Amino acid sequence: MAEAYIVEAVRTAGGRRGGRLKEYHPADLGGAVLSALVDRSGIDPAAVEDVVMGCVGMAGEQSFHIGRNCVLASKLPESVPAVSIDRQCGSSQQSIQFAAQAVMSGTMDIVIAAGVESMTRVPMGSPTRLAAEAGLGVPMSPKMR
């Protein structure tokens, strides 16, 4: 079985709600991290076979496939695919596991695992609140309750 290695790690500066990162669109934040990862690792951007992006609050600016939007906002070529993962607080950890599984299975050689979240621009609970306010219901069914 092939082995998977973490070759490089990059993140944005730490921030707080309403802090210094509040003006940055989440896709631009994620795109900047992807671009920095490519720069620091020295890989050919066209060699990236997939981007697995974790995100909990996929609503508003983080909706419409945030993983793909981060790729489009980065220096990766448009041909690089992406997938968005929501496993709540374990979303980015799950992206690492899926990326490693792809490499270990031999189906891919270079996969970027990442995560993005702007708690200022998309506050916790936004997907549920926005859907309920639009009359689209809530995620919990009567049987779940």
Q: Within a domain: residue 141? A: no
Give the domain CATH number at 103: 3.40.47.10
Q: Where are the alpha helices (DSSP H) in 7-140?
A: 26-41, 66-72, 91-104, 126-133
Residue span of the structural domain in which 73 resides? 44-133
**Secondary structure (3-state) at 84:** strand
Q: Within a domain: residue 13? A: no
Q: How many CB atoms lie within 10 A of CB 40?
A: 12
Q: Within a domain: residue 30? A: no
What confidence tens digit (pLDDT) does each residue in 76-86 have?
A: 999 999 999 99
Q: Within a domain: residue 36? A: no
* Rounded-to-integer distance, Cα 16 and Cα 38, Å: 26
pLDDT at 64: 92
What confidence tens digit (pLDDT) does each residue in 9-30 have?
A: 999 888 889 999 999 999 999 9
pLDDT at 12: 86
* Rounded-to-integer distance, Cα 75 and Cα 93, Å: 24
Q: Within a domain: residue 35? A: no
Q: Within a domain: residue 83? A: yes
Q: Within a domain: residue 2? A: no
What confidence tens digit (pLDDT) does each residue in 108-119 have?
A: 999 999 999 999
- Smallest CA-to-CA distance from 139 within 124, 128, 126, 123 is with 128
Indicate the number of domains in the chain: 1
